[in-house]
Structures are given as structure tokens and as C-alpha cells.
């Protein structure tokens, strides 16, 4: 299959798979798609290990890395330590989390709520991760939150590697192209993770018209089947950027109980909430997401403070949910898009790619038949 993105990145099928799991990246890449490793959750040392492992398993096939450098951070530019950030978390917020955990059968003291160490997604961290990425044969760099900082754009171009960025509105797309971004990922509100309020079906053609063909556009948000991918191509996209569909594969990092919740979920079982990172992101609806929306709940904190209280709680819930703790099971959640309603069986990454290909062909044939008729 030939589109602007397959020619730019060198893959066979214009299906990009974002994942925090190296196994997913490798399996999708080897099946003809293009895996993109979410690198910001790693330290430079662990990212080096992950990319070295990927290199040894993809047989020189192309893959990419996503590195987040947040544009809006609490204490940005002040070089605050983890202890200083921890001290900025209000006591009522810590009490709220401790009470929520305790009410769900996970006795928690207020002093145990905050994560002691946290990787702050600032420019310094981004530069260190970028240095590691470019020691490997990566073919694409992506930035998920806002316009990439100039050092990322300049470094990617100096290395001869395209840089892409996610956008959730027309005006964001114009700013990204003006900054020098090579690929836009138009992500609708249906998407898992950080997302805006505009649907994919509206956003993709709006972004394409706004930039007038200056760079390729990938469609993202709720795309979990080949027929949806065909619809995106029909809208003018050069391919599909996907994330949620890989979360229920055997290779994914998703906690096992949460996988089962996703397989049973409908498209209505997600919520766009700031209760996990401090920025609106779509997640599987649970008692955690609902608690932050109740009357009297504290306002979610800015990034990265909210993650410093949410991640310890939710990771503990994952562990206890797998052990049968009912309260933990009610809290368990993870980022996932509205396409979860179509994710009703677990398939390997390779089979998922093959299913995308087959479904895409069937959809295109159906369109061609309607023209002939």
C-alpha cells in the first residue's frame, strides 16, 4: 500500500501503533505496520535497554519513539526537586486520595499517598531521552503535548528524521506546521489518553484543509478496525495512528484485570477526566474517574502533581485487583478510547494488524462496488 506516510517512513501498511510496551512495537513493526514506543515513561538508562532490545528484534524494519515535553508544568523552569514538588500537593487532596483508597478496602495513610520519585516531563528530561533515541536507528519522533520545543525539531531535522505532533484543533495544526513539524496526528476526542473535544470525523478533514497539504496527516481517535482506517484515508489522511486497540493484546502492558474490563466495556464506558494527569485524558470509567467528578472533590492538580498522587494509587489497585480485591477492581482504570466498544476479543498484535489489512480491503471493495453500481 502506498501513501505519503508509507513513503516517508518506509513501512508496508500505514498503520502506526503507539505503545508503552516494546513487545507491541516489535510485533506490529514485523507484521508490516509501524510501532512507536512511548519513551517518556523511561529513564535514559531504561530507554537505552528498551531500544536496544527492539533493534535486535525488528530485523532493520523502521520504528519510532514518542517523547513528551510538556509545555505547561507546575514550577516550569524552576528546576524543582521531587521533594519540592511533593510539598506543593495540598493536604486536602492527599486526604481525599487516602480516604478514597481506604473506602475501597486499601487502607492508606495520608503520608503514603504521594509518589516519592517522578520523571518530570520537562525539557531537560526530553533532551536526555532524545539523545538516547538518536543512538538508535529510529525513523520517526513524535511529541504528544503541544508544539515540540525547538530543540526537538532542530535535532530531528539534523538527524534526518521526521518529527510528528498530535493536534486536537485546527489552530493547533497551523501552529505545528509553522513551527516545522513534518507530520500531523489529528486526534479526535474519541481517543484514549490526552485529547480535545472535537470528533475524529470532523477534525481530520478540518486539519487537512487548514494546512493545505503541506504535511501528511494521520487520523487518530477511536480507530480500532480496518474499515475505520479506510474511512480515514477517504477523508484525506495518509494513515492511522492507533493506541487503544493494542491494549487488550497478550503482548500489552495493561494490567490483566483491566484488560478484562476493557473487553467487556462498551463505547460509553470511558470518561475524559483530569483525575489522572491533571490534563483531560480519556480513560476507562471507574470509581477513580468518577470520584474526581463528584461534588466536593478537589480540583485536579497541574502536571506533574496530579500524576504524583494518581499513579501510586492506581498501580497499587492494579496489583490488588488481580488478587481479587473487589474495591481495587472498582478503582482499576487505564487510558483507552471509545473504540473500546469494538475491542471485544483478545488477539495477538500480529493478528490485529492482519485483521486491519483484511478489513481495510473489504471496505475499499465495498466503496468500489457502490461506485460501479
**Chain segment 77-129, per-residue pLDDT in tens:** 667 777 888 889 999 999 999 999 999 999 998 888 887 555 565 667 778 89
pLDDT tens for 303-352 read: 889 999 999 999 999 999 999 999 999 999 999 999 999 999 999 999 99
Mean pLDDT of the chain: 93
Mean local confidence (pLDDT), 31-41: 93
> Model confidence at 76, in pLDDT bands (50, 70, 90)?
low
pLDDT tens for 118-163 read: 556 566 777 889 999 999 999 999 987 788 889 999 999 999 999 9
Name the phi and psi angles at 245, rounded to 5: -60, -20
Is this structure's pTM higher than 0.85? yes
- State the Cα angle at 255 between 252 and 257, rounded to 5°: 125
Burial of residue 306, with CB atoms counted within 10 A of its CB: 0-12 exposed, 13-18 middle, 19 or more buried: buried
d(CA 115, CA 222): 31
- State the Cα angle at 251 between 250 and 253, rounded to 5°: 105
Amino acid 145: pLDDT? 77
First to last CA, the chain: 25
Amino acid 138: pLDDT? 97
Mean local confidence (pLDDT), 20-36: 97
d(CA 149, CA 69): 7
Amino acid 329: pLDDT? 97
CB contact set of 299 (below 8 Å; sequence gap of 6+): none
Amino acid at each position: 500500500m502506498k501513501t505519503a506516510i508509507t513513503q516517508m517512513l518506509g513501512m508496508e501498511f500505514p498503520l502506526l501503533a503507539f505503545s508503552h510496551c516494546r513487545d507491541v512495537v516489535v510485533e506490529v513493526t514485523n507484521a508490516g505496520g509501524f510501532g512507536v514506543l512511548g519513551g517518556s515513561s523511561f529513564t535514559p538508562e531504561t530507554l537505552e535497554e528498551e531500544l536496544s532490545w527492539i533493534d535486535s528484534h525488528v530485523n532493520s524494519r523502521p520504528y519510532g519513539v514518542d517523547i513528551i515535553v510538556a509545555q505547561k508544568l507546575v514550577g516550569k523552569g524552576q528546576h524543582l526537586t521531587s521533594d519540592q514538588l511533593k510539598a506543593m500537593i495540598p493536604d486536602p487532596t492527599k486526604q481525599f486520595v487516602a480516604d478514597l483508597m481506604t473506602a475501597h478496602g486499601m487502607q492508606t495513610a495520608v503520608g503514603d499517598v504521594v509518589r516519592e520519585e517522578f520523571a518530570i516531563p520537562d525539557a531537560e528530561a526530553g533532551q536526555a531521552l532524545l539523545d538516547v533515541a538518536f543512538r538508535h536507528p529510529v525513523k520517526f519522533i513524535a511529541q504528544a503535548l503541544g508544539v515540540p520545543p525547538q530543540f526537538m525539531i532542530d535535532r530531528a531535522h539534523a538527524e534526518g528524521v521526521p518529527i510528528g505532533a498530535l493536534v486536537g484543533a485546527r489552530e493547533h495544526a497551523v501552529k505545528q506546521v509553522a513551527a516545522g513539524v513534518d507530520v500531523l496526528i489529528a486526534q479526535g476526542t474519541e481517543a484514549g489518553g490526552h485529547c480535545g473535544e472535537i470528533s475524529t470525523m470532523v477534525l481530520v478533514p478540518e486539519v487537512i484543509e487548514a494546512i493545505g497539504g503541506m504535511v501528511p496527516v494521520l487520523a487518530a481517535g477511536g480507530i480500532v478496525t480496518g474499515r475505520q482506517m479506510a474511512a480515514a484515508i477517504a477523508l484525506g489522511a495518509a494513515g492511522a495512528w492507533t493506541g487503544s486497540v493494542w491494549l487488550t493484546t497478550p503482548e500489552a502492558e495493561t494490567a490483566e484485570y483491566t484488560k478484562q474490563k476493557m473487553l467487556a466495556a462498551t463505547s460509553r464506558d470511558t470518561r475524559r477526566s483530569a483525575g489522572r494527569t491533571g490534563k483531560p485524558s480519556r480513560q476507562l470509567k471507574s470509581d477513580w474517574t468518577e470520584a474526581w467528578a463528584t461534588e466536593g472533590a478537589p480540583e485536579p492538580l497541574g502536571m506533574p502533581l496530579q500524576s504524583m498522587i494518581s499513579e501510586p494509587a492506581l498501580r497499587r489497585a492494579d496489583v490488588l485487583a488481580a488478587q481479587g480485591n473487589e474495591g481495587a477492581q472498582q478503582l482499576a482504570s487505564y487510558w483507552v478510547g471509545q473504540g473500546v466498544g469494538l475491542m471485544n476479543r483478545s488477539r495477538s498484535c500480529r493478528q490485529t494488524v492482519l485483521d486491519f489489512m483484511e478489513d481495510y480491503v473489504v471496505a475499499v471493495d465495498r466503496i468500489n462496488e457502490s461506485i460501479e453500481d
